[in-house]
Amino acid sequence: MSKRDYYEVLGVGQDASQQDIKKAYRKLARQYHPDVSDEENAQEKFKEVKEAYETLSDDQKRAQYDQFGHDGPGMGQGGFGGAEDFGGFSDIFDMFFGGGGRRRDPNAPRRGNDLQYSIILEFEEAIFGKSTDVEIPREEECDTCDGSGAKPGTSPETCPHCQGAGQINQEQNTPFGRVVNRRVCHHCQGSGKIVKDKCDTCGGNGRVTKTDSIHIDIPAGVEEGQQVRVPGKGEAGVNGGPAGDLYVVIQVKRHEFYEREGDHIFCEVPLTFAQATLGDEIEVPTLHGKVKLKIPAGTQTGKTFRLKGKGSPNVHGRGHGDQHVKIRVVTPQNLTDRQKEILREFNEISGNESAEEQHGNFFERMKRAFKGE
């Protein structure tokens, strides 16, 4: 069964703000969460809602989804919780109201940060795709201390200030009663642990920056500004959590002959006065090789011919665009005396009625414009 559109799942439009998306998710999460809902298929519905929210609430993932949909590069490969990854209903309450539910474990696995990398493609590479390896600096778990931050042979100790909770409760008496404020423990920075003997390699951070060679497959038909998601190639997760994703932002160099709009390619081809007048068969370059194009007699500057299927492949695999060839008739310069003589003879034979007879409507409009009609 095909997936439903994420905007449809949350009941919002494509122009919805992050506040609208959060509000819609909060409502549906309360309705379908397995801890509180008795509705049939509540588990599947909540999973669908959660997946839609995790994509649309992240600006990078949302842009990727808007460009490629469910079938785009890397879509659906990680980044979403498993079928049983619901969390308690109090977790959702905490997410939106900041407290009141159970405390989160400061040492629980957390997903790593996403990374962004810009790649510049030649015009043809964007059309036909490209496979390449890039060097990406990213944070990874320290091999010396296995991410603990402690010197080998030692271990981090439980923070004595927060007793490992990573948070400290501060009580305050107010006219409305006693209020408890929960704040991040500044002694352990919310980790719940303190490293006394720090690892020499990472300085107690538990993470080091390394440069990795990552293979990237750029699909055929990508355009300027689109993103390709490489799952699991972002920064390493924390406390054994999954790695983030790498988003490759596409930049495309301009071409000296072709221009592109979506899947369609545009170019301009010059013709001599004789070719345009008498007609001809010319060779036109395309990204797929040269093709023959018949020019009918009397072709005017600005006339456009369509070469079907000679454009860019669609990034979603939905066929190819077309190439549009615009004709530009070149006025001859530096004529020889003989050429001038022939043109004068042609003009005398044609007479002055030629232009007005063939383009009467244009000349009438031009006359009216001068008269202010």
- Which residues contribute to the annotated binding site? 142, 145, 159, 162, 185, 188, 199, 202
* Amino acid letter, 125: E
Give CA–CA dist 54/76, Å, rounded.
Answer: 11
Q: Would you list the DSSP string of 292-346?
A: EEEE-TTPPTT-EEEETT-SPBPTTS--B--EEEEEEEPPP-S--HHHHHHHHHH
Interior CA angle at 115 toward 114 and 118, to 5°?
A: 145
Residue with tokens 């409305």: 176
Give CA–CA dist 350/171, Å, rounded.
Answer: 101
Backbone φ and ψ for 121, nearest 5 degrees, come out as -110, 150
Dig out the tokens for 89 from the structure.
């209903």
Residue with tokens 């004789």: 274
Give CA–CA dist 63/49, Å, rounded.
Answer: 18
Using DSSP, state whether 117 is helix, strand or coil: strand
**Residues forming the annotated binding site for Zn(2+)?**
142, 145, 159, 162, 185, 188, 199, 202
Give CA–CA dist 11/129, Å, rounded.
Answer: 35
Dig out the tokens for 191 from the structure.
């980790």
Strands in the chain per DSSP E? 115-121, 130-141, 157-158, 167-174, 177-184, 193-194, 207-218, 227-230, 246-252, 259-261, 264-271, 280-284, 291-295, 304-307, 323-329
Give CA–CA dist 69/76, Å, rounded.
Answer: 10
